[in-house]
Structure 1
Amino acid sequence: MSSCCLKGFKWDSKPQGRETTVNGLSCYVAGDNPDVAIMVIHDLYGWTFPNIRLLADHYATEVGVTVYVPDLFGGEVLSPDLINNKAEWDKLDLPSFMARNSKPIRGPQAASFAKFLRTSAGHKHLGAIGYCFGGWVAFQLGAGGDCNPSLVDCIVAAHPTFLTEDEIRAVKVPVQIIAPEVDPIFTEELKAFAQAEIPKLGVPFDYQFFPGLEHGFSVRGNRENEAEMRGLSRAMRAAAGWFREWLV
């Protein structure tokens, strides 16, 4: 875990969706399409972070789907006030936080949520997009093995954290990666591995590279910075286009 997972900017717009409980999890929901849905998997700031909700609103409108942002941190959230507050970062016990939200705990929870959307909620088509922490979750939902390939129809991973080579190899659905140039977490080695291995898997693959931008830009980018704003807008358009192609 790096400071790049905490820094950034909180956006000022007001989310337009609603809070509810879905499959036993607190959840933010935007849109109202009974057939097509997207899971948005949050970053370290959790399901209440305004930015992640604004992104959910965007995809609900632009793709015309129902969007779910489930709480995958068991009720814990990091305050948006931590953004760019380095003095407060040192007070966080991130190792303990991440132990409570490890892959063996949150992976099956995300899979159960996706299964619920497919069955009880009745969505015929389901996609997933994960930001930072959520990136590995998206890949697991799109994989074989413990996560049935039918859980989701396509995925997007934006500057994923904790992603492994095995998770990259296991993906079995159309996958888009949003990759900033500067990223100590989604390293140059992992970027190269993904670009070399995914085309061998026989699934549609789109690699979106963002020169000059840093880890976290697509969920915590500075709207007052022209380069970051262009990158953020492009990332949103790319993901929306990917979902329109493979879901709708």
Structure 2
Amino acid sequence: MSQSNCCVTGFRWEGTPKGKETTLGDNKAYVTGTNKDAAVLIIHDIFGWTLNNARMLADHYAEEADVTVYLPDFFDGEVVSPSALGPPKEGAKPFDIPAFMGRHSKEIRGPEIFAAATKLKKELGFKKVGAIGFCYGGWGCFQLAAKGNELVDCISMAHPSGLEKSEIDAVNRPVQIIVPETDPIFTKDLQEHCLQTLPSLKIDFDWRYFPGLAHGFATRGDPNNTVQKEGLERAKDAAVSWFKQYLH
């Protein structure tokens, strides 16, 4: 799973999350919201479940889409410091993305993602479950929604990474994809494959394009930059609308 340094760029958001830390199966998790019928599983990006930005997004989804949101730790306690956001400091050792991805490959983390979705769908009593993934989390959403798995009722993702064409071909649930203009990871080839394949699968498909923005904007955009702020807000609103449509 090739990655780029754009995975570790962006900005930290200020604010205090409203939820609490608990567990989801064997994984620690941040949970927010009170709906007992509809849940959303967030599959985080490289910064993991403790990133303030991700928890604040979870709060927005919970409140605005009226769902209970779970943000589990899918990195087995490993935390990439938010200080890695932005340009590397002089003399600092570059973050080793290939080594990190080796520790958190699909083969290693996929079973945990499936276990979390199964817990929500089959054990905790939620009637409807959605999933949203950012960067690293994109492939997990596609796998959860694959024909024969179908552990979720809809999926959304922003600037996904690690996708394979076979995962796109196999999806069998409504799909929303949030796409920035500049994204060296969700390549033009993969984008074209999505646009050619998904409409033929007889599932609802929502393609949201964001000109002038780059990979990572939906979770790490600069709230002090007007274009980025409007983009991350529109991306949040798109996901909220998607969950309202398919989880209620």
Which amino acid in the other structure matches residue 82 of structure 2?
A: P
Of the three residues 95, 103, 106, the one matched with 2:106 is 103
**Structure 2 residue aligned with 1:133:** 136
Shift of 1:120: 1.7
**Structure 2 residue aligned with 1:223:** 223
Of the three residues 64, 67, 74, the one matched with 1:65 is 67
Q: Find the aligned partners of 1:39 and 1:119 in 2 and give their Cα distance.
A: 14
Shift of 1:208: 0.1
Stretch deviating more after TM superposition (74-83 or 92-101): 92-101
User: How do 1:143-154 residues align onto structure 2 when only pairs under 5 Å count?
Assistant: 143-145=146-148, 148-149=149-150, 151-154=151-154
Matched-pair contact (CA < 8 Å) for 1:140–1:167: yes
Matched-pair contact (CA < 8 Å) for 1:136–1:157: no
Q: Find the aligned partners of 1:63 and 1:212 in 2 and give their Cα distance.
A: 27
What is the TM-score with the length of structure 1 in the denominator? 0.96
**Structure 2 residue aligned with 1:201:** 201
Shift of 1:29: 0.2
Which amino acid in the other structure matches residue 31 of structure 1?
A: G
What is the TM-score with the length of structure 2 in the denominator? 0.96
User: How do 1:168-183 residues align onto structure 2 when only pairs under 5 Å count?
Assistant: 168-183=168-183
Alpha carbons of 1:38 and 1:89: their partners in 2 closer, same or farther (altered >3 Å)?
farther
**Structure 1 residue aligned with 2:165:** 165
Matched-pair contact (CA < 8 Å) for 1:199–1:205: yes
Matched-pair contact (CA < 8 Å) for 2:43–2:140: yes
Q: Find the aligned partners of 2:74 and 2:22 in 1 and give their Cα distance.
A: 14
Shift of 1:90: 3.8
Shift of 1:66: 0.3
Matched-pair contact (CA < 8 Å) for 1:139–1:157: no
Unpaired runs of at least 5, structure 2: none
Shift of 1:89: 6.9
Shift of 1:105: 1.1
**Structure 2 residue aligned with 1:86:** 88
What SS does the corresponding residue of 2:9 show, helix, strand or coil?
coil
1:92-143 Cα shifts (integer Å, max 9, x gaps)? 3322211110001111110111001112211110000000101111111111
Shift of 1:69: 0.2
Are residues 1:77 and 2:76 paired? no
Number of matched pairs: 245
What SS does the corresponding residue of 1:13 show, helix, strand or coil?
coil
Shift of 1:168: 0.7
Q: Find the aligned partners of 2:221 and 2:204 in 1 and give their Cα distance.
A: 28
Matched-pair contact (CA < 8 Å) for 2:88–2:94: no
Which amino acid in the other structure matches residue 74 of structure 1?
A: D
**Structure 2 residue aligned with 1:36:** 38
